[in-house]
A and B are shown apart, each in its own frame.
Chain A
Amino acid sequence: MQPGLQAYLTVAGILFAIGFFGVLLRKNTLVIYMCLELMLTATTLALVAFSRFYGTMDGALFVFFIITVAAAEVAVGLAIIVALYRRRRTVQVDELNYLKH
């Protein structure tokens, strides 16, 4: 049996929820970052599924852009985390509270 659009969207929704709650609940910056990427991936999955089932290329086109931007964003974000670790010797968010009032 071929899986339908419903199935793809469900997977995408589950992925997004995992990412979302990961961002909300995890303490390690690196894990939070991976969860962010997970949410991004969930949206790309949904876009590709729409593109496939409606037979248009818009979603697929979007996905290329998103992957490109995400690659750049990952490079910058990981660099920031590495720099942060070098400076502060920790990547736990509850210890990164210098901007507290």
Chain B
Amino acid sequence: MDLPKLLSLILLLPLGSAVVIALFLRRKGNVAAALSVLVGFVIMALSLYALFSWNGQPLEVSHEWLRFGNYAMSMGYYFNNQTALMLLVVSFVASWIQLFSVGYMADDEGKGRFFGGLSIFMFSMLGIVLADNLVMLFVFWELVGFSSYLLIAHYFKTDFANMASKKAFIVNRVGDFGFILGIVWCWDHYGTVNLAALGKIIAANPGLLGTHAAVAIGFLLMCGFVGKSAQFPLQVWLTDAMAGPTPVSALIHAATMVAAGVYFLARVFFLLSPATLHWIMWSGAAMTAFAGLCALGQTDIKKILAYSTLSHLGYMATAVGLGYPEIAMFHLAMHACFKATLFLGAGSVIHGCHHEQDIYKMGGLLKKMPVTAAAFLLASLANCAIPFFSGSYSKDSIITAAFLAGHDHGAINYGVYGLVLFGALCTALYSARLFGVVFLGTARGEDAAHAHESGPAMAIPLIVLGFLSLSAGWAVQGWTWAGGAMSGLIPTHCAVVFLDAFEKLHASVEATGAAFAVEAINLGVVLAGLAASIIFYLGFEKGDALAVKAPRLFHVLERHGWFDDVYDWYIAHVQQRLCDILGALDLLVFKFTAGWGSGGLAGLTGSLLRRAQVGSIHAYVYWFLAGVILFWAFAVR
């Protein structure tokens, strides 16, 4: 089968699965789960087959979808190395997470709904991955937003889940509003929305990026990324989105959907002007540090991981802003492995502790849940970027790139370096705290005392993804095998996207002569963070050490800087007032003039004409006569 057909099959299989589940399997949860997982693994197999049979040349297929006069919208695939890496990440991580869900959701009433939601999410996500133009990308962009909404609200009987799903959807709409404006403007300005064609236009004439319109388009397109990847100032939805089931958090709100924003930036990187990149870099770096810090103020295991995700999305944004979209993609892939593991580990813990999420009611789970603990430990170390773990290759590259920016492009950029280093410190702090409190010490709650290891459906994905948290980054070591088709544990076609950039980056840092110092600082910061966290948190048995010793700081972190409160105030006191004014105008303009005006006119006419109905047959005879005379007058005129 040739590649376009294969890609169509990969894209449409989950849609078929979702349709079948929605129409026939809503009440048959187990069949729905089996179908969804089966389709997940078939997609994984097909994707691997597609990747190995691909010749490495970019593929462009496009079919016209809609035509309005001179404007035609198309649907198609633009398959290059970025697509290959993203396809691998999405199909691989998603199928293991779906398998995990079988165990995690075993007792859930809404199983059919849940797996149908996962299937429709897979369809939407693969659409984003394969899309060859911005309009198609936007369609699937909204579809992932919809599936995210659907899955966050899985426990719709709780108010919190309902509100969180609405919040996620609405906050994303804010970003998407800018995104769609950007697409329309891009279409108007460049005459096309096809990614490959846009790339050629910019490559032929780089000066195009200097115009005001191009800068504005870059910023507007960035809005889509800011919403989906939960960057400043739209970061508030991601932590609330943890109200969804844990596998959903792992798949959508850590590994794939939120990272789609970064993937999108890498796809349209050539459209982003230096000003846009600067904003992305600084906001990303600030988010890295800020979210890492906020993670220290949370006691809900999933919230800690959500802030960690925000922090890592900040890293990816920083990499894009620094001009290394390939390194951002690299970190995206590594992050997908270890963050999915962390979330699945958390899911396993939550499942084992009967849906307890407060880490201070857990403890001592190392012996009771050894597999989960081992996977969680591997992923935590990858999260902290300990050498040879997957996270270290990508995260250290980003920190190194930030150092280079300071070294080459002015000392102000050392600020970015400082922020991402601080983010790394926070990562070490919260990772050690999380692991120590949950798995070490003694059980602090009734549920934790009776915790038990999860079944094979949950343990196997943990083992697979936990192992990848350790090893996924080995691709950059240059270990190729299977006739060069594999680099480390990643198909070479997927790895080439970041291999060149990785080598170039490290060559240029070697050239500065500070390579060893940068590496040493990276490692030193992480080790210092781990040591500080162990000293500060472990052995402190009266709750959270920070909450006891610095309650005010803890409160600031717990409220994550009052962003939610500011937005609440804005909506309640500014936007609501504006709505009231518009409502009053609406009443005046439409109800009084249009509503009452037209109604009044009709009523008046009616009340006049009603007078003719006198109820006497003789009067009607006169009317009849009058009519006859009228027609007669017309006839003889």
Contact = CB atoms under 8 A, between A and B. Distances in A.
Contacts of B611: 101
B216 to A, nearest CB: 65
B637 interface: no
Contact of A96 (B610, B614, B617, B622): B617
A93 B616 contact: yes
A1 interface: no
Contacts of B616: 93-94, 97, 100
Interface in A76-100: 93-94, 96-100
Nearest to B624: A23
Contact of B621 (A24, A96, A98, A101): A24
Contact of B613 (A32, A94, A100): A100
B426 to A, nearest CB: 82
Most chain B beta-carbon contacts within 10 A, residue among A32, A98, A100, A101: A101
A99 B617 CA distance: 10
A98 B615 contact: yes
Nearest to A27: B618
Contacts, number: 26
Contacts of A23: 621
Most chain A beta-carbon contacts within 10 A, residue among B613, B615, B621: B615
Nearest to A98: B615
A93 B613 contact: no
A93 to B, nearest CB: 5
Contacts of A99: 613, 615
Interface in B601-637: 610-611, 613-618, 621-622
B618 A101 contact: no
A33 to B, nearest CB: 11
Interface in A17-37: 23-25, 32
Interface residues of B, number: 10
B627 to A, nearest CB: 15
Interface in A55-80: none
B617 A101 contact: no
A25 B621 CA distance: 10
B615 A97 contact: yes
A36 to B, nearest CB: 10
A24 B618 contact: yes
Nearest to B622: A24
A100 B615 contact: yes
A16 to B, nearest CB: 14
Contacts of A32: 617
Contacts of B621: 23-24
A101 B611 CA distance: 7
Contacts of B617: 32, 93, 96
Contacts of A25: 618
A101 B613 CA distance: 5
A49 B204 CA distance: 100
Contacts of A100: 613-616
A42 to B, nearest CB: 16
Contacts of A97: 614-616
Nearest to B620: A99
Nearest to B609: A101
Nearest to B614: A100
A96 B614 CA distance: 11
Contacts of A94: 616
Contacts of A98: 615
Nearest to A29: B617
Contacts of B613: 99-101
A93 B621 CA distance: 12
Nearest to B615: A100
A36 B618 CA distance: 13
B614 A93 contact: no
A23 B617 CA distance: 9
A73 to B, nearest CB: 17
A81 to B, nearest CB: 13
A32 B620 CA distance: 13
A94 B614 CA distance: 11
A96 to B, nearest CB: 7
A93 B618 contact: yes
B197 to A, nearest CB: 71
A94 B619 CA distance: 11
A96 B620 CA distance: 13
A99 to B, nearest CB: 6
A93 B618 CA distance: 8
Nearest to A25: B618
A51 to B, nearest CB: 24
A24 B618 CA distance: 6
Contacts of B622: 24
A44 B614 CA distance: 33
A29 to B, nearest CB: 8
A97 B615 CA distance: 4
Contacts of A93: 616-618
Contacts of A101: 610-611, 613-615
B457 to A, nearest CB: 78
Nearest to B607: A101
B539 to A, nearest CB: 93
Most chain A beta-carbon contacts within 10 A, residue among B611, B614, B617, B621: B617
Interface of B: 610-611, 613-618, 621-622
23 contacts: A23-B621, A24-B618, A24-B622, A25-B618, A32-B617, A93-B616, A93-B617, A93-B618, A94-B616, A96-B617, A97-B614, A97-B616, A98-B615, A99-B613, A99-B615, A100-B613, A100-B614, A100-B615, A100-B616, A101-B610, A101-B611, A101-B614, A101-B615
Given A97-B614, A101-B611, 11 more contacts: A25-B618, A93-B616, A93-B617, A94-B616, A96-B617, A98-B615, A99-B613, A100-B614, A100-B615, A101-B614, A101-B615
Instruction: List the 3 closest pairs (A to B, CB-CB), nearest first.
Output: A100-B615, A97-B615, A101-B613
